[in-house]
Amino acid sequence: ENFLQQEEILKDKTIIVTAGGTEEAIDPVRFIGNRSSGKMGISIAQAAAEMGAKVKLIYGNVTVALPQDEKIELYHTASSEEMLTKVKHEFAKSDVLIMAAAVADWKMAKVADHKLKKQAYQATLKLTLVKTKDILREVAKHKNPGQLVVGFAAETNDLLKNAEKKLHEKGADLIVANDVSQNVFGNDNDKVTILKQDGTIDEWPEMSKKVIAKKLLIYVNNFMHK
C-alpha cells in the first residue's frame, strides 16, 4: 500500500461520495433495502481525505463503522429521493461526485401511512412499485465542464457490455464496473474494471477495497489535470 502513499494531491478539491444502501419505506415500520455494506464508499471517502480533499460522505444503510475524520462531513439519507436532493445540493459546490451507493431502483407507488396488517384470509401481498430517479444521470446531465462524475456498475453477467451501456446512458465520466456474481458485499476485496468515455477500458486485478479506493482517486486526479 505504501507505493500509493501520495502527497495531498486532492488538496483544494471537494469530493462527494455516496455509500451504502438506500431504504424505501413500505409503511412506518418496514422498508425495501439491499445488501450494500458501504465499505467501498467509505474506503473512497477515507482515501480522499488522506489525499487532502474536503469530503462529504452521504450515506444510507451501512454495516461497517463510519469514518471519524475532521476532513469528512457525514450526512445520512434514507430514501433515494432524500439522497438525490442532498447530492444535488452538495454537488453544486463540489468538484467530484463518486456514486458508490446502492440506490434503490424501485419504491412504493404509495407509502402506507399505517402498519400493513396481516389478514386471516390473505395468503399473498402485492406491492405496487414505481421506478426511482437516477441520481447519477440527473447530476451528470447538469454538471459543469470542470466537474467530474463517477459511477459504479454492479453486474452479475455481461459485465463490459452492461457497464458500457451505463457509461453512455448515464453520462458519467468514469464507470467502475464490478462483478457482483461472487459475493462482494461486505468483502474486503474486490475486482473492478474502469471504463472511460474515450473508450479506454482498464481491468484491475483483485485488490483490497482500500487500495482500489486510492487507485481510483489517483485516476480521478489525473483525469482532472489532463
Cα–Cα distances in angstroms (integers) from residue 130 to residues 15, 112, 126, 186, 215, in the given order: 31, 14, 13, 28, 37
| Closer by beta carbon to ligand CTP, 4 or else 137 | 137
Residues annotated as catalytic are 34
DSSP assignment of 53-120, as one string?
-EEEEEE-B-SSPPP--TTEEEEE--SHHHHHHHHHHHHTT-SEEEE-SB--SEEESS--SSPPPP-T
Q: Write down the least CB distance from residue 12 to Ca ion, Å.
A: 33
Quote the least distance from Cβ 149 to ligand CTP, whole Å: 9
What is the H or E stretch that residue 169 is in?
A: helix 159-170
Q: Which is nearer to ligand CTP, 49 or 140 (CB)?
A: 140
Closer to Ca ion by CB, 135 or 148: give it. Answer: 135
Binding site for ligand CTP (CB under 6 A): 80, 99, 101, 103, 105, 132, 134-136, 151-154, 166
Which region among 65-73, 103-111, 190-198, 200-208 touches Ca ion (by CB under 5 A)? 103-111
Torsion angle of the four alpha carbons 162, 168, 174, 180, in this order, in degrees rounded to the nearest 10? -20
- Rg value, the chain, Cα: 18
Q: Which residue in the shown chain puts its C-beta closest to ligand CTP?
A: 135
Q: How far is the CB of 105 from Ca ion (least distance, A)?
A: 4
DSSP letter for 2, please.
G
C-alpha grid cell, residue 225: 489535470
Span from 25-33, 105-113, 126-134, 145-153 in contact with Ca ion (CB under 5 A)? 105-113
Shortest Cβ distance from residue 11 to ligand CTP (Å)? 26
- Residue 105 found at the interface with Ca ion (CB under 5 A): yes
Whether 115 has a binding-site annotation, put simply, is: yes
Residue ranges at the known binding site for CTP: 105, 115, 152, 166, 170
Which residues sit at the interface with Ca ion, rule CB under 5 A? 105
